[in-house]
Amino acid sequence: MVPKRAHIDRIGVRVLEELVEMIVTGGVAVGEFLPPEQALCDEFGVSRTVIRESIKRIQEKGLVVVTQGRGTQVRHFNDWNVLDPDVFDALVRHDESLGVLDEVSVARAALEGVMASEVARTGNYGALELIRGHLEEMRRLRDDNPAFLEADKDFHLATMAASKNRIAGTIARSLFTRPRWSQRWEGNNPTDAVERTLAEHELIFAAMHAGDAARARVAMEEHILGSWRRRRPTDGHHHLNL
């Protein structure tokens, strides 16, 4: 049974957040049932209406299935909508082994590698000039780390947009932006991180500009995976097997 909590502020949002965390952390394991509705009301100090709305929302996130007469059962991880902001943020927040962030970097590398190759293959002049502009901003701002990182982000987002692959772009944007809110994703950057990052972006752009799809894909993949390896905190015990 989940331990009883004190009354919490911002009731609806907080109940939802706590239920998501309860499931993501294994407080209620896959296949197990959440406490009955009245028990949750007592635990959170809220009405049945708040609990029912919260259960409905975690069901929409794929975390649970509600069965008449049986209750609310936690679904398998494969059924979870891991790109949902609440679910994704909870996964990253409790990612003690860094396995989730390892997997994010692999998925990002694959998706963005494909999109970089598409940009190289299609060779849209206007799109390439826009990407070049972000690269020039990175060069200009190399001594201003926050501004450099913003130009880096713009480079990646412009590449995604230029690929015209809307599905891959939507997923990759989520994988790109959400982890950046995590201190663990920032990691431990080496002293030469800016110069190495800039050099890798130069290679990506050169390959796209030359129309070399295979080289663009490899350059993007190596940049994303290499960047995460360089700054990956040492407190995680899960390692990439590549």
| Helix, strand or coil, per DSSP, at residue 42 | helix
Give the pLDDT confidence score for residue 118 in this predicted structure: 96
Q: Is residue 85 part of a domain?
A: no
pLDDT 10s digits, 230-239: 888 775 544 4
Among residues 55, 79, 103, the one where a domain terminates is 79
Same domain, 114 and 193: yes
pLDDT tens-place string over residues 29-87: 999 999 999 999 999 999 999 999 999 999 999 999 999 888 999 999 999 999 898 99
| Residue tagged 């995604």 (tokens) | 160
CATH of the domain at 40: 1.10.10.10
Do 128 and 204 share a structural domain?
Answer: yes
Range of the domain at 120: 95-231
Same domain, 111 and 21: no
Which helix (H) or strand (E) covers residue 72, if one does?
A: strand 71-74
Helix runs in 45-144, H state only = 48-60, 85-93, 99-122, 125-140
Tell me: do 67 and 141 sit in the same domain.
no
Is 84 inside a domain boundary? no
Q: For residue 193, what is the domain's CATH number?
A: 1.20.120.530
Based on the fold, state whether residues 105 and 208 are members of the same structural domain. yes
Inter-residue contact 175 to 104 (CB < 8 Å): yes
61 inside domain: yes
Closest CA to 172 of 187, 184, 153, 157: 157
Question: Do the domain assignments include residue 21?
Answer: yes
Residue-wise pLDDT tens digits, 161-220: 999 999 999 899 888 887 766 666 666 777 888 999 999 999 999 999 999 999 999 999
pTM of model > 0.95: no
Q: Are residues 114 and 157 in the same domain?
A: yes
Helices (H), 164-192: 166-177, 183-186
Q: Average pLDDT of the chain?
A: 88
Question: Tokens 């891991």, residue?
Answer: 82
Does residue 16 lie within any of the structural domains? yes
Residue 198 shares a structural domain with residue 156: yes
- 124 shares its domain with 157: yes
Is residue 241 pLDDT above 60, yes or no? no
In a domain, 88, yes or no: no
Does 51 lie in the same domain as 109?
Answer: no
In a shared domain, residues 150 and 200 = yes
Other C-beta atoms lying within 10 Å of the C-beta of residue 96: 13
Per the structure, the count of domains in the chain is 2
Q: Is residue 112 domain-shared with residue 197, that is, in the same domain? A: yes
Residue 89 within any structural domain of the chain: no
User: Which one of 20, 52, 79 terminates a domain?
Assistant: 79
Q: What is the pLDDT of residues 141-153, one digit of tens each?
A: 999 989 999 999 9
Same structural domain, 126 and 206? yes
Assign 40 to helix, strand or coil. helix
In angstroms, how far is the first alpha carbon of the chain from the final one? 40
Show which of 27, 51, 79 is a domain's final residue.
79
List residues bridging with 240 in a β-sheet.
none
Cα 1 from Cα 5, distance rounded (Å)? 12
**CA pair distance 117, 133, nearest whole angstrom:** 19
